[in-house]
Amino acid sequence: MVTFSSIEQAATRLHDHVLRTPCVASHTLSDITGAQIFLKFENLQFTASFKERGACNKLSQLSVAERARGVIAMSAGNHAQGVAYHAQRLGIRAVIVMPRFTPGVKVERTRGFGAQIVLHGDTLEQARAHALMLAEQQQLIFVHPYDDPDIVAGQGTVALEMLAEVPDLDTLVVAVGGGGLIAGMATAAQAIKPGIEIIGVQTTRFPGMFNAIKGTHHPQGSSSIAEGIAVGTPGQLPQAIIARLVSDLLLVDEGDIEQAIVLLLEVEKTLVEGAGAAALAALLRFPERFKGKKVGLVLCGGNIDPLLLAAIIERGMVRAGRLARLRVSARDVPGTLAAITATVAAAGANINEVHHQRAFTTLAAQNVEIELVIQTRGPQHIQDVLAALRQAGLTAALL
């Protein structure tokens, strides 16, 4: 069982070994969502994730004999780093089994903490099965990422800190994968403030806990930008706690998470991974659900692949109308391209890409289609650029 007392004891063990991250108000996000938002910056932990709380709590309780045997864990990245870092700190050998799809930044960071990395399987379930096999073969202590009372108790310290900083929070919104974080937080929060609303968030591609709690049968996808919560089978221990203490579970789409990542980067100047943005994504998708409430959001991780981040930022600019693709049709004569670029420049937009299309078009042979990717100030500015091109006698449309 996970009790409030076990979470308080975990907080004592974590003291001076895990960062007490800030929990501060975000006035801009509050204006955007209509709720009073407080952000818990767990992405500022040394391993950039809350996961090291549970790992530290678990490893610090191992006996001398158990430490000598070493530990093994399976993880898509954040639990791996937490276990590897605190194992290194405590002088314990660590073997980490990670799915093959794990972002390279997480693999290399985990290896940097001295752990032995084994890449196996395409899912967490396949990695888990392999880790259990290796644990038996090598007599290693298996450190589960969420189905362990010591892990859950360590994660629950997040709620202790949040309610100490902001005692009058109405609601806590927490990303859910296997359920360890929300289970620990719910246990702590309901003990401190009975009746507090606790909302879990999963992706539509990995709704395992949502299905288990609500009895639904939403299909499971194969991948998500929130790989940290891409868990197919929820933990049994967290599920029992969630069923008893969590108010509701919500599902968000990939696009909601992308929008939240970009918003946190722009507004708060903080970098989060997909799972770390899931809580904010829920407020963006269901604003009426939280309107007027004092809401605590956990930014649970900040380990994101740079190439994925670049793609998300670019797609976010498209959604915001700050990056647009136009098609301009004109006579294929000298000076046409110069006239188009001059018109776009005069309208205050910047050109990122230019592509001439002569062969693959239905236009007359003496005409040309030119595709432009332009940077603008927003949707209205796009319309201003289109109007300027048409005023110049050109046929222009937004793609």
Read off the pLDDT of residues 162-185 as tens digits, 9 standing for 90 and up: 999 999 999 999 999 999 999 999
Q: What ranges do the domains of the chain cover?
A: 4-49+149-316, 51-142, 321-398
Question: Tell me, what's the pLDDT at 165?
Answer: 97
Residues above pLDDT 70, as percent of the chain? 98
Question: Tell me, what's the pLDDT at 197?
Answer: 98
Residue of 178, 300, 155, 307 whose CA lies nearest to 230:
178
| pLDDT above 70 for 363 | no
Per-residue pLDDT, averaged over 132-149, amounts to 95
Could you tell me how many residues make up the chain? Answer: 399
- CATH T-level assignment (fold) for domain 51-142: Rossmann fold (3.40.50)
The sheet that has 94-98: what strands, in order across it?
Answer: 116-119, 94-98, 71-74, 141-142
Q: How far apart are CA 339 and CA 394, in angstroms?
A: 10
Q: How far apart are CA 10 and CA 57, in angstroms?
A: 6
Q: How far apart are CA 214 and CA 207, in angstroms?
A: 10
Question: Tell me, what's the pLDDT at 285?
Answer: 97
Sign of CA dihedral 154, 158, 159, 163: positive
Cα 43 to chain centroid, rounded: 10
**DSSP helix/strand/coil, 3:** coil
More confident of the two residues 334 and 66: 66
Residues above pLDDT 90, as percent of the chain? 81
| pLDDT above 90 for 89 | yes
| Sequence-ordered list of residues with C-beta below 8 angstroms from that of 201, at least 6 positions apart, any chain | 173, 174, 175, 176, 249, 250, 251, 252, 278, 279, 281, 282
Per-residue pLDDT, averaged over 282-311, amounts to 95
Helix then strand count (H, E) for the chain reads 17, 14
- Evaluate whether 4-49+149-316 and 51-142 have a shared fold: yes
| pLDDT above 80 for 317 | yes
Q: Which two tokens stand for residue 300?
A: 């649970």
Domain 4-49+149-316 falls under CATH 3.40.50.1100: yes
Strands annotated E in the chain: 23-25, 36-40, 71-74, 94-98, 116-119, 141-142, 171-175, 197-203, 248-252, 294-298, 323-331, 350-357, 367-375, 395-398
Q: What is the pLDDT of residues 326-354, one digit of tens each?
A: 999 888 788 888 999 999 999 999 999 99
Question: Tell me, what's the pLDDT at 334?
Answer: 85
Question: Tell me, what's the pLDDT at 361?
Answer: 65
More confident of the two residues 365 and 49: 49
| pLDDT above 80 for 225 | yes
Q: How far apart are CA 80 and CA 109, in angstroms?
A: 9
DSSP 354: E
Other Cβ atoms closer than 10 A to 103: 20
> What kind and span of H or E run contains 214?
helix 208-214
Question: Tell me, what's the pLDDT at 245?
Answer: 98
Residue of 120, 51, 101, 117 whose CA lies nearest to 79:
51
Per-residue pLDDT, averaged over 112-134, amounts to 90
Grade residue 360 by pLDDT with cuts at 50, 70 and 90. low
Which superfamily, per CATH, for 321-398?
A: ACT domain (3.30.70.260)
> What's phi and psi for 335, nearest 5 deg?
95, -10
| Sequence-ordered list of residues with C-beta below 8 angstroms from that of 15, at least 6 positions apart, any chain | none
Grade residue 364 by pLDDT with cuts at 50, 70 and 90. low
Per-residue pLDDT, averaged over 56-80, amounts to 93
Grade residue 305 by pLDDT with cuts at 50, 70 and 90. confident
Q: Which two tokens stand for residue 369?
A: 């289609």
Q: What is the pLDDT of residues 255-289, one digit of tens each?
A: 999 999 999 999 999 999 999 999 999 999 999 99
Residue 178 pairs in a beta bridge with none
Average predicted confidence (pLDDT) for the chain: 93
